[in-house]
A and B are shown apart, each in its own frame.
Chain A
Amino acid sequence: MSARRLPVYLLLDTSGSMRGEPIEAVKVGVRMLIAALRQDPYALESVHLSLMTFDQKATVVCPLTSLEAFQMPVLKCPDAGPTHLGEALAAVCFRVDAEVRQGTPERKGDWRPMLFIMTDGSPSDIAVYNEWSEKIRAKGFASIIACAAGTRAKEEPLRKVADHVVVLDTIDSTTLGGFFKWVSSTISASSATMGTTAELHLPPPPREVNVVL
Chain B
Amino acid sequence: MLSSETPRAGLFSLDETLRQNWPEDVQALAQFVEPILAALVELHAEGRFHGAVHPGALWFFPNGTWHAEHFRDAALDGPNAPDFSAHEYRAPETFLGTRDAFSDCYSFGALLCKLMSGRAPAPAYRRLAQVDALEAKDAPKWPPALVALANRCLCLEKSARFASAQELRFALSGILWALVFPSPEAEIRLQPEEMSNALDIIVVPDWNQPELFDASIVEDSEAACMRLEAVEENQVTEAPEVSEPTTVPVKPRPTLPSSTIRERLPNASVGRLYRVELLHLFGVHAVQVNTASIQLPEGFGLNYDADTGMLQGNPVRAGEFELEITYALNEAPADAPLLRHLVKLTVNPDPASLWLNKPSDPDGLYAKPDSAVATLLTPDLSAFAASLRGRSHAHEGKYRDDDFALHADTASGWHVFMAADGAGSAKFSRCGSRLACSVAMENIRQRLTAGNELEEALEKLGTHAPEPEGVEKLRCVAANFFTRAAYEAFSAIHKEAAEQKASLRDFATTFIVVLARRCQEGWFFAAFSIGDGGAGVFLSPDHVEVLTQADSGEHAGTTLFLTRAELFQRPDKLLTRTRAVFCKDFRFLAVMTDGVTDPIFPSDAAFESAEAWSGLQDRLASVADLAHPAPGLEETLLDWLKFPSPGNHDDRTLLLVLPNGTPAHE
Please list the residues of chain A having a beta carbon within 8 angstroms of any beta carbon in chain B. 1-5, 16, 19-20, 38-42, 44-46, 56-58, 67-71, 76-82, 87, 90-91, 94, 102-112, 140, 142, 192-198, 201
Contact = CB atoms under 8 A, between A and B. Distances in A.
Contacts of B646: 1, 3, 45
Contacts of B31: 76-77
Interface in B530-560: 552-558
Given A103-B552, A111-B556, A79 B63 contact: yes
The 5 lowest CB-CB distance pairs between A and B, nearest first, are A79-B64, A3-B647, A195-B424, A193-B425, A41-B354
Given A57-B2, A78-B63, A192-B392, 7 more contacts: A4-B557, A46-B647, A87-B2, A109-B552, A110-B555, A192-B395, A193-B424
Interface stretch (B16-24, B282-290, B486-494): B16-24
Given A42-B392, A56-B5, A69-B266, A109 B554 contact: yes
Interface stretch (B115-123, B132-140, B144-152, B343-351): B343-351
B45 interface: no
Nearest to A70: B267
A79 B647 CA distance: 42
Contacts of B508: 196, 198
Nearest to B506: A198
A133 B420 CA distance: 39
Interface of B: 1-5, 17, 20-21, 24-25, 28, 31-32, 62-65, 264, 266-267, 269, 346, 348-349, 351-352, 354-355, 391-392, 395-396, 423-426, 505, 508, 552-558, 561, 598, 602-605, 645-650
A103 B553 contact: yes
A44 B351 contact: yes
B1 A80 contact: no
Contacts of A40: 354
Contacts of B64: 16, 78-81
B435 to A, nearest CB: 17
Nearest to B64: A79
Given A4-B647, A70-B267, A90-B2, A38 B28 contact: no
B650 A195 contact: yes
Contacts of B21: 16, 19, 79-80
A58 B63 contact: no
A102 B558 CA distance: 11
Nearest to B553: A103
What is the interface of chain A mostly: helix, strand, loop, or mixed? loop
A146 B277 CA distance: 41
Nearest to A3: B647
Contacts of A196: 423-426, 508, 557, 561
A110 B552 CA distance: 12
B4 A192 contact: no
Given A3-B646, A69-B266, A81-B64, A44 B349 contact: yes
A51 B142 CA distance: 31
Nearest to A194: B557
Contacts of B32: 79
Given A46-B647, A194-B424, A111 B354 contact: no
A40 B395 CA distance: 10
B558 A197 contact: yes
A194 to B, nearest CB: 4
6 contacts: A40-B354, A41-B354, A46-B647, A103-B555, A109-B556, A198-B425
Contacts of A80: 20-21, 62-64
A106 B552 CA distance: 12
A81 B327 CA distance: 43
A173 to B, nearest CB: 14
Given A45-B351, A68-B267, A193-B424, A79 B20 contact: yes
Contacts of A195: 423-425, 557, 650
B233 to A, nearest CB: 43
Nearest to B393: A192
B348 A44 contact: yes
A39 B8 CA distance: 48
B563 to A, nearest CB: 11
Contact of B555 (A68, A102, A106, A193): A102
B348 A56 contact: no
Contacts of A2: 602
Contacts of A76: 31
B554 A3 contact: no
Contacts of B424: 192-196
Contacts of A194: 424-425, 556-557
Contacts of A79: 17, 20-21, 32, 63-65
A53 B392 CA distance: 33
B35 to A, nearest CB: 11
B505 A112 contact: no
Contacts of B24: 19-20
A29 B338 CA distance: 37
Nearest to A65: B267
A41 B65 contact: no
Nearest to A4: B556
A105 to B, nearest CB: 5
Nearest to B65: A78
A103 B266 CA distance: 30
Nearest to B425: A193
A83 B398 CA distance: 44
A38 B558 contact: no
Nearest to A94: B2
Contacts of B65: 78-79, 81
B306 to A, nearest CB: 26
Contacts of B557: 4, 111-112, 194-196
